[in-house]
């Protein structure tokens, strides 16, 4: 008899990938599990697929937390902790989606699907928060509010957004839609009327009513179990095996090494007397030709060749000889080696960091 469901873990025998959100259980964090002293950002910091959009609104620590709702099957959450107050600026956590993954929603047609967002949230600050969708292909948006009713208590929220019959999404690998979870907003985003139906974007209408999470260093905000699906009903959270979840994240970001100076990053060959080249396959194929993400410094990397080490500071990538399927990299600073010999490259400092980035 086939097993249809393992109730305790939430797995089913036929994974439908109904959740448009990637890494909704916050379990994958390739870059870091904690980053402090955030005062401005428009990039990815800790948990995979979540960008931090922050400007002039205090100082923050972002981390992958083990504080989760009891008995719901989650092990990790994303935490924002205010460490220095601010006001007048903005802060939201964002996930962006490829247009080609959303064509089935029929956006821009009379048959446009509704969207239902569900998640678990907890904060020391009660009040109104805004969850916004932006159609970046057509500069349209819609915002809905939710209320945190009890301080320091996990609460489940469900929000339904009507389908948008205007503005079709591009069928490509670019960013077409984004979800913005607002935590603070200044007058430029709050001075109008909250735009609760799809329409052309008006900045003043994006986050009306949003509390300022940055008004006290006692404030924090946690989220997990983030799920977005077509339709008007929220289903149970779709847990994925960790290897499946990690592979989905690696389409956008792949960590090679984070300072483990005892292991090799890759084999390499001495292309000439000053440069060692390496071809690194990308598994899975990345969304687009990636850039190199690295933490560099004096002798942070090492090419072990013919019985000796040849340290260097950083890597260079060849975009003309790379694709979304493989990257060719080489030492950015000259080293003295014998042409035609082989070796292997490793990190040479615990602070060294090397990854490939194809984020939206």
CA neighbours closer than 13 Å in the CB half-sphere of residue 33: 7
Q: What percentage of the chain reaches a pLDDT higher than 70? A: 96
- What residues have CB less than 8 Å from 243, skipping those under 6 apart? none
Predicted local confidence at residue 15, as pLDDT? 52
Cα radius of gyration (the chain): 23
The 10s digit of each residue's pLDDT in 77-106 is 999 999 999 999 999 999 999 999 999 999
Predicted local confidence at residue 14, as pLDDT? 52
The 10s digit of each residue's pLDDT in 172-195 is 999 999 999 999 999 999 999 999
Place of tokens 């389409």: 251
Structure-block tokens of residue 127? 């009040």
Distance CA 330, CA 233 (A): 51
Structure-block tokens of residue 189? 């985003």
- Asked whether residue 252 carries a pLDDT value surpassing 80, the answer given is yes
List 334's β-bridge partners, or say none.
none
Predicted local confidence at residue 200, as pLDDT? 98
List 280's β-bridge partners, or say none.
327
Q: Are 34 and 65 contacting, i.e. CB atoms less than 8 angstroms apart?
A: no
Distance CA 275, CA 258 (A): 23
Q: Are 26 and 77 contacting, i.e. CB atoms less than 8 angstroms apart?
A: yes
Mean pLDDT of 335-356: 96
Structure-block tokens of residue 245? 């979840």
- Asked whether residue 274 carries a pLDDT value surpassing 60, the answer given is yes
- What residues have CB less than 8 Å from 14, skipping those under 6 apart? none
Task: Tell me which of 15 and 180 has the higher pLDDT.
Answer: 180
- Asked whether residue 2 carries a pLDDT value surpassing 70, the answer given is no
pLDDT-based confidence at 16, cuts 50/70/90? confident
The 10s digit of each residue's pLDDT in 27-84 is 999 999 999 999 999 999 999 999 999 999 999 999 999 999 999 999 999 999 999 9
- Asked whether residue 138 carries a pLDDT value surpassing 80, the answer given is yes
pLDDT-based confidence at 12, cuts 50/70/90? very low
pLDDT-based confidence at 338, cuts 50/70/90? very high
The 10s digit of each residue's pLDDT in 293-335 is 999 999 999 999 998 999 999 999 988 899 999 999 999 999 9
The overall average pLDDT reported for the chain is: 95
Tell me, letter by letter, the H, E, C secondary structure of 142-170.
EEEEEEECCCCCCEEEEEEECCCCCCCCC
Rounded (to 5) percent helix, strand, coil in the chain: 10, 45, 50
Alpha helices by DSSP H, 78-225: none
Distance CA 219, CA 212 (A): 10
- Asked whether residue 166 carries a pLDDT value surpassing 80, the answer given is yes
Question: Which run of H or E residues covers position 274?
Answer: none
Instruction: Label residues 242-269 b or e (16+ Cβ within 10 Å = b).
Output: eeebbebbbbbbbbbbbeeeeeebbebb
- Cα 204 to Cα 192, 201, 213, distances in angstroms: 5, 9, 19
Distance CA 302, CA 318 (A): 19
């Amino acid at each position: 008899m086939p097993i249809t469901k393992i109730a305790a873990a939430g797995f089913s025998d036929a994974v439908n990938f109904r959740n448009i959100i990637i890494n909704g259980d916050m379990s994958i964090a390739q870059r870091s599990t904690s980053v402090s002293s955030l005062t401005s950002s428009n990039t990815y910091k800790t948990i995979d697929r979540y960008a931090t959009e922050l400007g002039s609104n205090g100082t923050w620590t972002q981390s992958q937390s083990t504080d989760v709702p009891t008995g719901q099957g989650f092990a990790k959450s994303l935490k924002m902790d205010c460490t220095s107050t601010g006001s007048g600026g903005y802060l939201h956590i964002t996930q962006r989606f490829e247009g080609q993954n959303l064509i089935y929603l029929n956006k821009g047609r009379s048959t446009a699907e509704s969207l239902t967002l569900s998640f678990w949230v907890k904060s020391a600050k009660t009040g109104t928060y805004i969850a916004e969708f932006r159609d970046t292909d057509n500069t349209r948006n819609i915002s809905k509010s939710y209320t945190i009713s009890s301080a320091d208590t996990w609460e489940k929220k469900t929000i339904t957004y009507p389908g948008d019959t205007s503005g079709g999404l591009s069928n490509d690998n670019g960013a077409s839609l984004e979800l913005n979870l607002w935590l603070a907003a200044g007058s430029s985003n709050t001075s109008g009327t909250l735009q609760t139906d799809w329409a052309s974007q008006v900045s003043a209408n994006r986050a009306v009513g949003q509390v300022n999470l940055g008004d006290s260093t006692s404030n924090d905000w946690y989220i997990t179990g983030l799920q977005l699906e077509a339709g008007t009903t929220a289903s149970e959270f779709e847990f994925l095996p960790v290897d499946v979840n990690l592979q989905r994240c690696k389409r956008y970001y792949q960590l090679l090494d984070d300072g483990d100076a005892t292991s090799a990053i890759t084999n390499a060959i001495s292309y000439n007397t000053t440069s060692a080249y390496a071809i690194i396959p990308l598994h899975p194929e990345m969304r687009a030709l990636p850039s190199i993400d690295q933490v560099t410094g004096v002798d942070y990397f090492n090419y072990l060749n013919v019985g000796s080490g040849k340290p260097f500071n950083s890597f260079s990538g060849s975009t003309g000889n790379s694709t979304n399927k493989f990257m060719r990299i080489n030492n950015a600073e000259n080293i003295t080696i014998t042409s035609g010999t082989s070796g292997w490259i490793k990190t040479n400092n615990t602070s060294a960091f090397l990854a490939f980035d194809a984020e939206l």
